């Protein structure tokens, strides 16, 4: 999963992610030769992600690689809840 620290920037808008802002973070799941690689293993403002023109394609790529039994994913869902974009995937996988 992306490491998020003070001064970290959004991979979409390149602005600093402030502590009070909602974020979306991704593990490294794309190879360096993929056109969307820069967004893999990164954090972004939730607002930027929600308005991003590559959002649907990025989610589709992630879903093809997601492991719903991944302990990190399970822990994040327990702490933060199920992200809207993942709800349908979890319900159809059970």
pLDDT tens sequence across 40-74: 989 999 999 999 999 999 998 988 887 777 787 78
Predicted structure pTM score: 0.70
Q: With pLDDT > 70 as the criterion, what percentage of the chain qualifies?
A: 86
Q: Which helix (H) or strand (E) holds 44?
A: strand 43-45
CA-nearest of 65, 67, 20, 26 to 43 is 26
Domain ranges of the chain: 23-93
């Amino acid at each position: 999963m992306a490491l998020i620290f003070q001064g970290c920037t959004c991979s979409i808008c390149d602005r600093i992610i402030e502590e009070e802002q909602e974020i979306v973070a991704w593990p490294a799941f794309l190879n360096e030769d993929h056109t969307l690689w820069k967004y893999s293993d990164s954090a972004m403002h939730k607002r930027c992600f929600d308005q991003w023109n590559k959002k649907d394609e990025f989610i589709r790529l992630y879903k093809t690689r997601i492991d719903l039994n991944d302990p990190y994913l399970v822990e994040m869902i327990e702490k933060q809840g199920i992200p809207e974009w993942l709800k349908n995937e979890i319900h159809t996988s059970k």
